Structure 1
Amino acid sequence: MHPVPAAILESERLSYSVFEPGDAAMLAALHSTPEGERYLFRDGMLWSEAYAASEIAKWRETYARHGYSKFKLVRKADGAFIGRAGFGFHEDGSVAELGYTIIRSEWGQGYATEAAAALARWFLEKRIGNRFIAFAVPENGASVAVLRKIGMRETAPITVKGIICTSFEMDAADLTSLNR
């Protein structure tokens, strides 16, 4: 079991930590707008506080068992909640999958790129796994750009819940692209 430290990681502007059970309202608010949820494969489902609490419980268990999960992103300068980012299991359970969601008011500030790059480096340098994947709906150009910007390699498209997605992967050989 992995003990839960105060902060898992810090990057230039962000601190990454395991969600606490009391964070459910904040997490539900992150996932409460159709605009923010349109690319997240939930058929328009907005998160209730109860659903957010159940996700937090799963993420805490994943962290305890595997040393990675979806993490709470907080801006270091003022402690403001920015979103969530981290790793989960891809549908088939065979590989870790990078994902991120930033609150709408902070879109376009580079937080997704900062978080994705920091987490990719952390995952590979700490040898949490030897590779991970990510994918995005092609219409989500901002997310596709983030994955390209951090140096992930585009792979064959994959179908997720009936939607063809642009797919990427990264492994330890790709660390040089992260360290530029």
Structure 2
Amino acid sequence: MKPLIDTERLLLREITLQDTDVMFQLHSNPDVQKYTGEPPIDSIEEMEQAIQTRINDYKKYGYGRWATFLKDGMHFIGWAGLAYLPEFDKIDLGYRFLPKYWGKGYATEASHAILAYGFNNLLLKQIIAIALKENKASIRVMEKVGMKFDKFAPYEEGGEDVVWYQLQKNNL
């Protein structure tokens, strides 16, 4: 499958059911899931359903979370991309990588490219990002790519406050 986004070190493409095993490895890892607000996935079937949701998002919205690979050797490192959040009518930037790829600048590199793709190719006006307050690494990525702090507010009614960042196209 042809990559949608190509950076200096990364290739991003749509996630397919052929990615089930590597996606399960990612989403079943408690360290990866620690700051997501989601429990680790327990089964391949659950992962297949989650991937099917992503495939449906590509068809419905024209974007989604994209499988992310290192160019050298095409090693799967995780995913990064956009997701429409209907409960807020907002488009969210997100990323999730296997721990051995943390701290190498991949989230920042992917996020820069995704923001450019969202504003220039998809003609989006605003992109948000949300993180748990404890997820300092993710918050740092948001700041490095130029996103601005928006607010502390719960993601779900009655939930703990999370950190909301945003970037407007005209603020690039």
TM-score by length of 1: 0.89
Match of 2:100 among 97, 105, 111: 105
Determine the C-alpha separation between the residues in 2 that align with 1:71 and 1:160: 23
Asked if 2 retains the 8 angstrom alpha-carbon contact of 1:152 and 1:174, the reply is no
User: 1: CA distance between counterparts of 2:121 and 2:137?
Assistant: 28
Pick from 12, 23, 38 the counterpart of residue 16 of structure 1: 12
Unaligned runs of 5+ in 2: none
Residue correspondences, number = 170
Counterpart mapping for 1:160-171 below 5 A = 160-161=155-156, 162-171=159-168
Among 2, 6, 11, the alignment partner of 1:6 is 2
Determine the C-alpha separation between the residues in 1 that align with 2:49 and 2:25.
15
Q: Distance in 2 between matches of 1:158 and 1:115?
A: 26
Identical positions, percent? 26
Q: Offset at 1:91?
A: 5.2
Kindly report which structure 2 residues correspond to 1:26-175, keeping only aligned pairs within 5 A, or say none: 26-42=22-38, 44-90=39-85, 92-161=87-156, 162-175=159-172
Contact 1:130 1:172 in 2 (8 A): yes
Instruction: Please report the RMSD computed on the Cα atoms of aligned residues, expressed in angstroms.
Output: 1.4
The alpha carbon displacement at 1:121 in A equals 0.9
1:174 and 1:14 mapped to 2: Cα distance? 25
Provide the rounded CA distance (Å) in 2 between the counterparts of 1:139 and 1:63. 31
The 4+ residue runs of structure 1 with deviation greater than 2 A are: 44-48
Amino acid of the residue matched to residue 171 of structure 2?
D
Task: For 2:42 and 2:79, locate their aligned partners in 1 and report how far apart those are by CA, in whole Å.
Answer: 14
Contact kept? 1:62, 1:69, Cα under 8 Å = yes
